[in-house]
Amino acid sequence: MSKIVVLGSGVVGLAMAMLLARQGHEATVFERDDAPAPGSPEEAWSGWDRGGVAQFRQPHFLHCSARQIFDQHLPEVKEALLRAGCVTFDYLTLLPPSITDRAPRPGDERFVTVTGRRPVVEYAVARVAEEFLPIERGVAITGLLTGPSAAPGIPHVSGVRTTDGVEIRADLVVDAMGRRSKLPDWLGAIGARRPLEEAEESGFVYYTRYFRDASGTIPPCRAGLLTHFHSFSLLTLLCDSGTWSVTVFFFTGDPALKALRDPARWTKLIAACPAHAQWLEGEPISDVLAMGGIVDRYRRFVVDGAPVATGVVSVGDAWACTNPVQGRGIGIGLIHAVGTAEVVREHVDDPVALALAQDTMTKARATPWYRDTVAFDRRRTTQIAAAIAGREAPSPTGPLDLLPVAMLYDADLFRAFLEINSLLALPEDVLARPGLADRIVEVAGTHQPPVPRGPSREEVLRMLA
Ligand SMILES: Cc1cc2nc3c(=O)[nH]c(=O)nc-3n(C[C@H](O)[C@H](O)[C@H](O)COP(=O)(O)OP(=O)(O)OC[C@H]3O[C@@H](n4cnc5c(N)ncnc54)[C@H](O)[C@@H]3O)c2cc1C
């Protein structure tokens, strides 16, 4: 049994700590925010002060991979989500009418997820975690402690220091401090090399409003959860307890659309989209919440074949954070946490082997999702830039780019799309299936990309003027 400290009590940090506690390690979570987990889901939504998570009340969706991980590794969490009012959602209910083959397939249950508002999800995870292990809230960590090196010239982390100067020794430190994690600076302060880091502004602004129906009736979903119009997109997410969120997002470099911050204009735009207007039929339970300036950022802690330090690993957003257009952050983080737990189980007594195995695992299981998400962002910003300039967007060419069209006309391609979208199977693994890439190209070749029903760019600009 090892002593492990997990820094940060977001959903990924808590899940990580529970996975480690389940292996028999003495895991403790240290969280900077001092507010305790509230007494009910509704208090979590209305009053939980979680300043450490800037996106706490922004729209969140848990993908099927997250549900699958909870089922396999932390079934208590899924039970707690359901008790907290989270909704069970079967993605196959979105099978479009253009697909006539409605026959079920073996394994279709993998497309079911359980999701809710982020404060409610985190409330449920935190209540379970409290039964597993200590969560020390109101303890901010400010730097790393070092011990004897496990390999020449590589600093070894042997604990952390709080802002009050308290030293906490540990066999392993897990950085789950989210997208604002300062671990590279802390590593620099103990003489370690900096990790490799890539970062780019994702380029989107989000305007979100939440609604509730007192009778618990959720409006019918007449389009997918995510619909891309010319220069804006709409994201409609089912949440818990008869609530849902509606988000308009667009390119940062499109100042004309910033007028959508005004609730009246925001409402007018949604009302003008026939397949989405029904999402306004509820009582608004928030203002139009804005968020922008979100970066895609990735870190690698093995440089030139050697770890920058031992005794410390990063998980979830602290390792890599993505623009939330595809709502993948928690799902990717949980995949990473499960892989990290496996690495710890194998190598906890060998710090160098642990650091190298963590890098290999991350590269194989989590990095491809980061790359896929960034590639999606770049494709979408190219499309939007073309729409703003009044140009045709470049035509999709490769099978992965053509899949969003082909999946509307073929039941198996629809499932292939869902597997990728929901982080159930990596794109390269799906495309490697015999005949699948050819089938995508063939189906997409006989159909035009659908044009979502709603106002043209000129009409939107007139509406917002
Ligand atoms: C607008 C927006 C919408 C999103 N929507 C989705 C979605 O639909 N689906 C999805 O899966 N993901 C979504 N995400 C991503 C998701 O929010 C993150 O992936 C997720 O929060 C990562 O969890 P985490 O535990 O790694 O980090 P976080 O949740 O960020 O938690 C980090 C924790 O570390 C604590 N901390 C920081 N510094 C210290 C310190 N020095 N000492 C102690 N504690 C510290 C913080 O207070 C915080 O509690 C969205 C993100 C954004 C920005």
Which pLDDT score, from 0 to 100, does residue 393 have?
Answer: 81
Lowest-pLDDT choice from 65-69, 218-222, 247-251, 381-385: 381-385
Which residue CA neighbors atom 27 of ligand 1 most closely? Answer: 178
Classify residue 374: in a domain, yes or no: no
Domain finish residue from 291, 324, 348: 291
Query: Quick one: which of 304, 428, 317 has its CA closest to 368?
Result: 428
| Backbone φ and ψ of 133, nearest 5° | -160, 165
CB 15 within 8 A of CB 125: yes
Mutate to test the pocket of ligand 1, among 56, 58, 250 (most ligand atoms within 8 A of CB): 58
Cα(10) to centroid(ligand 1), Å: 6
Domain finish residue from 271, 291, 311: 291
- The enclosing domain of 272 has a CATH number of 3.30.9.100
The ligand 1 atom at the shortest distance from the C-alpha of residue 176 is 26
Model confidence at 203: pLDDT above 90: no
Lowest-pLDDT choice from 45-49, 133-137, 291-295: 291-295
Mean per-residue pLDDT, 24-40 = 98
Which residue CA neighbors atom 51 of ligand 1 most closely? Answer: 324
The ligand 1 atom at the shortest distance from the C-alpha of residue 16 is 25
Residues 282 and 336 in one domain: no
- Residue 91, CA atoms < 13 Å, CB-side half-sphere: 28
Which residue CA neighbors atom 33 of ligand 1 most closely? Answer: 8
Residues 195 and 211 in one domain: no
Query: Quick one: which of 189, 165, 185 has its CA closest to 175?
Result: 185
Mutate to test the pocket of ligand 1, among 122, 330, 334, 424 (most ligand atoms within 8 A of CB): 330
SS3 track for the chain: CCEEEEECCCHHHHHHHHHHHHCCCEEEEEECCCCCCCCCHHHHHHHCCCCCCCCCCCCCCCCHHHHHHHHHHCHHHHHHHHHCCCEEEEHHHHCCCCCCCCCCCCCHHHHEEEECCHHHHHHHHHHHHHHHCCEEECCCEEEEEEEEEEECCEEEEEEEEECCCCEEECCEEEECCHHHCCHHHHHHHCCCCCCEEEEEECCEEEEEEEEECCCCCCCCCCCCCEEECCCEEEEEEECCCCEEEEEEEEECCCHHHHHHHCHHHHHHHHHCCCCCHHHHCCEECCCCEEECCCEEEEEECEECCEECCECEEECHHHCEECCHHHCCHHHHHHHHHHHHHHHHHHHCCCHHHHHHHHHHHHHHHCHHHHHHHHHHHHHHHHHHHHHHHCCCCCCCCCHHHHHHHHCCCCHHHHHHHHHHHCCCCCHHHHHCCCCHHHHHHHHHHCCCCCCCCCCCHHHHHHHHC
Other CB atoms within 10 A of residue 228 CB: 18
Mean per-residue pLDDT, 399-408 = 95
- The enclosing domain of 359 has a CATH number of 3.50.50.60
pLDDT tens string 158-182: 999 999 999 999 999 999 999 999 9
Cα(108) to centroid(ligand 1), Å: 30
The ligand 1 atom at the shortest distance from the C-alpha of residue 291 is 1
Cα(193) to centroid(ligand 1), Å: 25
The ligand 1 atom at the shortest distance from the C-alpha of residue 9 is 49
Residues 284 and 331 in one domain: no
Classify residue 99: in a domain, yes or no: no
Residues 195 and 317 in one domain: yes
Which residue CA neighbors atom 8 of ligand 1 most closely? Answer: 60
Query: Hey, what are 372's tokens?
Result: 């896929």
Cα(13) to centroid(ligand 1), Å: 9
Per-residue CA distances from 420 to 224, 357, 413 (Å): 15, 25, 11
Per-residue CA distances from 317 to 130, 329, 331, 369, 415 (Å): 22, 7, 11, 13, 28
Which pLDDT score, from 0 to 100, does residue 449 have?
Answer: 84
CB 238 within 8 A of CB 246: no
CA distance 141 to 184: 14
Its pTM stands at 0.97
Which residue CA neighbors atom 3 of ligand 1 most closely? Answer: 324
Residues 142 and 49 in one domain: yes
Residues 6+ apart with CB under 8 A from 276: 222, 223, 227, 234, 236, 246, 270, 454
pLDDT tens string 414-437: 999 999 999 999 999 999 999 999
Cα(168) to centroid(ligand 1), Å: 23
Residues 314 and 330 in one domain: yes
Model confidence at 73: pLDDT above 90: yes
Cα(218) to centroid(ligand 1), Å: 27
Query: Quick one: which of 32, 33, 4 has its CA closest to 16?
Result: 4
Which pLDDT score, from 0 to 100, does residue 290 have?
Answer: 96
CA distance 246 to 61: 12
Classify residue 34: in a domain, yes or no: yes
Indicate the number of domains in the chain: 2
Mutate to test the pocket of ligand 1, among 60, 135, 162 (most ligand atoms within 8 A of CB): 60
Which residue CA neighbors atom 50 of ligand 1 most closely? Answer: 324
CA distance 334 to 15: 7
Which pLDDT score, from 0 to 100, does residue 441 have?
Answer: 97
Cα(441) to centroid(ligand 1), Å: 37
Domain finish residue from 336, 365, 394: 365
Classify residue 394: in a domain, yes or no: no
Which residue CA neighbors atom 20 of ligand 1 most closely? Answer: 330
Q: How confident is the model at residue 377 (pLDDT cuts 50, 70, 90)?
A: confident
Which pLDDT score, from 0 to 100, does residue 166 have?
Answer: 98
Mutate to test the pocket of ligand 1, among 5, 6, 12, 114 (most ligand atoms within 8 A of CB): 12
CB 17 within 8 A of CB 6: yes
| Backbone φ and ψ of 415, nearest 5° | -65, -40
Residue ranges making up the domain that contains 214: 204-291
- Tell me how far apart the terminal alpha carbons of the chain are, to the nearest angstrom: 64
CA distance 364 to 370: 11
Cα 103 vs. chain centroid, distance in angstroms? 31
Residues 43 and 120 in one domain: yes
Q: Name the residue with tokens 């989590």.
A: 366
Classify residue 287: in a domain, yes or no: yes
Model confidence at 323: pLDDT above 90: no
Cα(461) to centroid(ligand 1), Å: 34
Query: Quick one: which of 332, 328, 354 has its CA closest to 342?
Result: 354
The ligand 1 atom at the shortest distance from the C-alpha of residue 12 is 25
Residues 300 and 319 in one domain: yes
Residues 281 and 310 in one domain: no
Cα(353) to centroid(ligand 1), Å: 28
The ligand 1 atom at the shortest distance from the C-alpha of residue 206 is 1
% of the chain surpassing 90 pLDDT: 89
Residues 54 and 132 in one domain: yes
Mean pLDDT across the chain: 96
Model confidence at 379: pLDDT above 90: no
pLDDT tens string 234-283: 999 999 999 999 999 999 989 999 999 999 999 999 999 999 999 999 99
Residues 6 and 54 in one domain: yes
Query: Hey, what are 377's tokens?
Result: 């962002």
% of the chain surpassing 70 pLDDT: 100
- Residue 300, CA atoms < 13 Å, CB-side half-sphere: 17
pLDDT tens string 96-107: 999 999 999 999
Classify residue 401: in a domain, yes or no: no
CB 396 within 8 A of CB 402: yes
- Residues with a CB atom less than 6 Å from ligand 1: 7-13, 30-33, 52-53, 55, 58-61, 140-141, 176-179, 206, 291, 294, 316-318, 324, 327-331, 333
Classify residue 448: in a domain, yes or no: no
Classify residue 329: in a domain, yes or no: yes
Cα(30) to centroid(ligand 1), Å: 15
Residues 37 and 136 in one domain: yes
